[in-house]
Amino acid sequence: MALNARLDLAQRQRLRLSPQLRQSLAILRLSTAALAEDIAREAAENPFLLVADRGPGSSAYDYALATTAAPVSLMESLHRQIALQRLGPAEQAAALYLVGELREDGYLDQPLGELAAATGLPHAVLDAGLAALQRCEPAGIGARTLVECLELQLVDAGLERSLARAVALRLDDFAVERWARLGNDLGLEPAELQRIFGLLRGLSSAPVRDDREMVATIVPELLVETGLQGQISVMPARAALPRLRVMETGRDALGTDALRALYDRASLMTTGVAARTETLLRIGRYIAATQSAFFLGSHDTIRPVTRAEAAEALSMHGSTLGRALAGKALMAGNRVYPLSHFFSRALTGPDGDISPFDVQRRMRELIAAESADAPLADEVICAQLKREGVDIARRTVAKYRKCMRIPSSFGRKRRKVSTQSQPRAVHKNGKIS
């Protein structure tokens, strides 16, 4: 059978992100401190980007920011680690782009095929960028599944890559200690299997855990103020980021491609920061509207609102909302609240749905009123909440207690016994409203 070459014309439509949109999404994902650092770095290299000072701070929080050494954020750390690797320009750009696609727990849940179709980057370049990202710390960063996360952590612990993957695929056998089967499948001696078993027990199910938060100080980009008539206004915090503008000159008048590239970079940075501010304002106004009782009251109750509900109400993609919430905060009543603080899934309460914030507040009341000799165990707190009409599991109580940095009943007993001579505050056992 003869083979003949033939040329056909076809027309297809597919979504592809423009450079401006990619830059805007990357800027939206950055924390406030990381963006300020990127702006300073770009302004030092780019004469077309003009930066105005943020001006002197006037609050105690501004003073704290000026005098407290802030730790390096996870995104900053990943950017620096990628810069230290010997990568080509395309691979480095792909790795930095994937950093912006990470979930808050460090997983990458966007398939590379979809990212290649959206960005126009070759799949091989994205593969190389992902490999560079996965060589960074913390171990497991950029994993797409639990198996891959554990595999990367085992490699970091010293196992060869193929053995690490084989171990990660046999977690059930390790869990029930099927040593004979594991020895046959992996070809390892019992002593080596025990060593690997010990490694597995020390691994994390997510690359980034809540208790290893890398950013201790969050700079608020939004200010929420309440008026005498009960109106709530949301405005950008002008002192959070410097004001940007592009040098007034004609792009076509620039003599070289290098100068035009710098001009374009300055324009993209300015446009991206402005789009970020507008997006955060939209989210802030939505929060003010849905959580008006919080801002007009004593900041002691939050209405349960999910991110999916917010994304639908704002006509915003869920991943875009996630980028906007990560590492961002607002200031209300001289206190700083992360934007993610106002989004949670509802729990069933005595008078309808209640938020985890209200449940945690009730847990703090119960723990504050407990006896020093008999602190309340998680099971007892769970039973009390159920008697008050809250549908909650014991493991959820334990999770909320850890989120509030409250020790276990054993740890509290030791702490309260050591301070039992000090006067104790008296709290009323009020129910959740």
Q: What gap in Å lies between CA 43 and CA 122, rounded to an integer?
A: 31
Is 194 among the domain residues? yes
Give the residue among 382, 401, 389, 400 at the shortest CA–CA distance from 431: 389
Give the residue among 218, 217, 38, 204 at the shortest CA–CA distance from 137: 204
237 and 360 in one domain? Answer: no
280, 310, 342 — which closes off a domain?
A: 342
312 and 196 in one domain? Answer: no
Spacing of C-alpha 100 from chain mean position: 10
198 and 162 in one domain? Answer: yes
156 and 92 in one domain? Answer: yes
Provide the pLDDT for residue 61: 44
90 and 209 in one domain? Answer: yes
Range of the domain at 367: 347-418
Instruction: Tell me if 37 sits within 8 A of 76, measured CB to CB.
Output: yes
CATH number, domain at 377?
Answer: 1.10.10
Instruction: Tell me if 266 sits within 8 A of 43, measured CB to CB.
Output: no
318 and 236 in one domain? Answer: yes
Is 29 among the domain residues? no
191 and 110 in one domain? Answer: yes
pTM of this structure:
0.57
291, 314, 342 — which closes off a domain?
A: 342
262 and 382 in one domain? Answer: no
Is 59 among the domain residues? no
Give the residue among 223, 270, 225 at the shortest CA–CA distance from 27: 270
User: Domain total for the chain?
Assistant: 3
What the block records as the tokens of 212 is 């290893």
What the block records as the tokens of 308 is 């999916």
Is 424 among the domain residues? no
Burial class (CB in 10 A: 0-12, 13-18, 19+), 201: exposed
Is 379 among the domain residues? yes
Is 254 among the domain residues? yes
210 and 100 in one domain? Answer: yes
Summarize pLDDT for 345-379 with one digit per residue, the tens: 767 776 667 778 888 888 888 888 888 778 888 88
Per DSSP, helices labelled H in 120-189 are: 123-134, 146-156, 161-168, 171-175, 179-186
Q: What is the DSSP letter of 363?
A: H
299 and 244 in one domain? Answer: yes
Q: What gap in Å lies between CA 146 and CA 130, rounded to an integer?
A: 16
List the chain residues with pLDDT less than 70. Answer: 1-5, 8, 10-19, 53-73, 209-217, 298, 346, 350-352, 413-433
291, 309, 342 — which closes off a domain?
A: 342
